[in-house]
Amino acid sequence: MMNVALVGPTCAGKTTCASRLCELFQLRHLSTGQVLRENRIQQTALGILTRKYVERGQLVPNVIVNAMIEEAVRKLPPEQGLLLDGFPSTLYQARFLDELFHATGRRLDAVLWLQIPEAVVFERAARREPPRPDDRPEILHHRLRVFHRTTGPVLDFYRKAKRLVYLDATGSIEAVSGAVAAVLEQIKAGSFQAALADHQNRFLDDLLTEPVPGKITVSQPSLDLIVMGAPGSGKGTHASFLASQFAIPHIATGNLFRENLGEGTLLGKIARAYIDRGELVPDDVTESMIRERLSRADAKDGFVLDGFPRTLPQCKALDEIMAQLNRKIDSVIFLVVPDEEIVNRIAGRWLCPLCQSPYHLEYHPPKKPNTCDRDGSPLYRRDDDTPETVRARLKIFRGQTLPVIEYYRQANLLFEVPGSGEVAQVDGLLLAVMKKIKRQ
């Protein structure tokens, strides 16, 4: 049994190679997009959840994607080899995959890194039929930067495990498929040994090296905040409170995503194209939405950011965005709530499908039962608000987002605020923290 993964930027030919190799070596082809589409078509429980997220204009959470991958792997016969295409794409997913393979008696034999220069990406994208709205050079350039920022740690993870193979993917699909097939033959024969050449190691080291930020000259005073917390910690409610107290916009990534989809902006059309193909919307689209939103006139005096960043690569992307605006994040407020309290909270949570205002049957009930106070829409309860799913989401939160918390702690920007108790009580604690921030 052989298990391998293909990793590479857009237009590297991963999917075409995967199709050929799976037929040649009798491997099961497993890609994130394929798994999402299959679950939606077959109307599995996970597929129905995915459709509801998409219909509400929301990004599909990682917990659902990981659950789909896990379910697909566990369904395979033990003797069936596997070729992963585009997964893992983050360091958290790489660790998740190792845990999953260990639990299912598998081992990832090799990660094949298909690398092509930016000029080749532009050339191939220009020939793609039908053309895509995100095949513009400026968008592709940003996409490649985000890909390298996110995938660099994944490649380093497998380099340290001596499972990474670098392959130049600039040649014809026949040549690239042949090079990959030669590696798979070595794995099959038991003679495979992963080793990067010196120039390949240097290239990866360059990807991992963060540019030294220049000195930022703050052009005007502003109050730029991030509110973070686990699912169900109340960050949306408390972010809205802070925004109203200081007359700055509350910028939630979920609302921003829906706005771009609903208004048919260029970024919304790009996101819609991925959704219609049954694929995940990539990070660079979300980052571009954040960049555009923070540059609007109403955010010049500050903002409260909710839902971004969630990962270290996104955290570093936000640093770049703020530097371009000649601003800095003032403080990061982390709402700390015990896991079991979060599970109990979410069990009573209801949302407005139109404005996404959150309610809770015990802590924050609507004035009229089952009706949004703001727009009168009937409230709904999310299908994934079960204790089991919530605990899985909390696990992913810890794996992905706690490194971000530590990043801001090291930068002396972090304020931890107990998020338990009544909403008014937590708001009072937040105001006390804000006095410290304003003094700084």
Catalytic residue numbers?
235, 310, 349, 382, 393
362 neighbors 348 (Cβ within 8 angstroms): yes
Please enumerate in sequence order all residues whose Cβ is within 8 A of that of 164, keeping only pairs 6 or more positions apart, or say none: 110, 111, 113, 155, 158, 194, 196
- One-letter amino acid identity for 194? A
For 334, phi and psi rounded to 5 degrees? -110, 115
- Specify the length of the chain in residues: 440
225 neighbors 332 (Cβ within 8 angstroms): yes
Long-range contacts of 387-391 (CB under 8 A, 24+ apart): 387/343, 387/347, 389/63, 390/231, 390/232, 390/342, 390/343, 390/346, 391/339, 391/343
Task: Measure the CA–CA gap between 221 and 232, rounded to whole angstroms.
Answer: 32
- One-letter amino acid identity for 142? H
Coil, strand or helix at 253: helix
Task: Measure the CA–CA gap between 439 and 416, rounded to whole angstroms.
Answer: 17
Sheet with 302-306, edge to edge strand ranges: 250-252, 302-306, 223-229, 331-336, 414-418
Please enumerate in sequence order all residues whose Cβ is within 8 A of that of 273, keeping only pairs 6 or more positions apart, or say none: 132, 133, 134
For 38, counting Cβ atoms within 10 Å of its Cβ (0-12 exposed, 13-18 middle, 19+ buried), the class is middle
